[in-house]
Structures are given as C-alpha cells and as structure tokens.
Copies of this chain bind each other. A is one copy, B any other.
C-alpha cells in the first residue's frame, strides 16, 4: 500500500508542481523581467564626443551634457581635435561666416574673408545668445562640472596639437579613445559633435 501511495504521490507532485509553476512562477518571472528591462541602465547614460572648436559648435555638447545631467543621467564628454579648445583656461572661441551659407546673416564669401569679419560674426553670435539668456560657454562648462558631468580631454590629440595639461581647466580627466568607447558601449545616447 505504501508503494501504491508513493506512486500516486509522485504523479500528484509532478502535476501540482507543473500547475504551481504555470500559475505563479511564470507570471512572477515575466513581471520581474519586464521590470529589469525597463530599468535599462543604458537609458541613463550619455557619451558625447566634442570635436569642433568654433563658438557655435561649442554649445551643443555642453547644452546636451548639462541638460542630461539635470535629468539625472550619467554624462561623459570626450573633447578631441578642435574640441579641446572648449576646455582651455583662456577661451578664444570664434565663429567664422566664411563657407557657412546657413549663418543667420550670411554674407558673400568675398566679403566674409576680409579682416575683421570673423571677429564681427563672433561678437554677433555671442550677443544673440546673451540676449536670450543662454549661459556662456564658460558658464555651461562650469554647470557641467558642478552637475558631475565627466569632462575628458583626448590624450592623443592633446599631444598632436601641442596642448599641455596646464592649458586646460581644472576638474577634468585626460584619457584615450578606449576610455570613451567603454563608456559609450553602456549608453543609449551617443553623439559625435
């Protein structure tokens, strides 16, 4: 009789386990899965390369970085090539009207190459941003540092361009492309500016 009972119990057990798993476990696993996927850590990371050193194109990496940091995201900006100019202690960013027919006030190239036109375009653009209460590049840069944005200078292009660590502001890091890539490989938002 004990033997008979064991057989029955074994079948019972198998059936009951199967029922329980179907009723409870799969739902819980599915819910936990969706929860973990929704927590997608890549959605909270931003990795930007800033490669340009004109006044106009200094705004986008700093505006995106400071906005993302304000949204609670972990942000790194990697400054390379002309973008290193944005990290200089003494900023001398300019904008050039020559060759950019999309400037707000385009001038013919034959005029825009004349001495003084670069300085005039730069002053005009600075004025336009100031008038609309957009922080300056110095201010945006500080806002980024204050918000915990990692500002990283590209070691290789620093060397190639003869830029020394002491030419750049405090609070930044110096690293290579591999450092950017390991950060970017964990981030949904990646951009080369």
Contact = CB atoms under 8 A, between A and B. Distances in A.
Copies of the protein in its oligomer: 3
Nearest to A75: B181
A95 to B, nearest CB: 7
Contacts of A172: none
A96 B94 contact: no
A174 interface: no
Interface size range on A against B = 35 or more
Given A81-B56, A181-B67, A189-B185, A99 B102 contact: no
Contact of A16 (B10, B100, B108): B10
Interface string A33-62: 110110010111011010111101101100
A156 interface: yes
A137 to B, nearest CB: 13
Interface string A105-119: 000111011110110
B34 A32 contact: no
Contacts of A178: 67, 70-71
Contacts of A82: 100, 102-103
B68 A60 contact: no
A145 interface: no
Among A95, A115, A185, max chain B CB count under 10 A is at A185
A13 B17 contact: yes
Contacts of A186: 43, 188
B24 A21 contact: yes
28 contacts: A5-B6, A13-B13, A18-B20, A18-B24, A26-B29, A36-B37, A37-B37, A42-B43, A43-B186, A46-B181, A49-B60, A49-B191, A51-B57, A51-B60, A53-B101, A60-B81, A63-B177, A71-B181, A94-B101, A96-B100, A96-B101, A96-B109, A98-B98, A108-B118, A113-B113, A128-B160, A134-B156, A186-B188
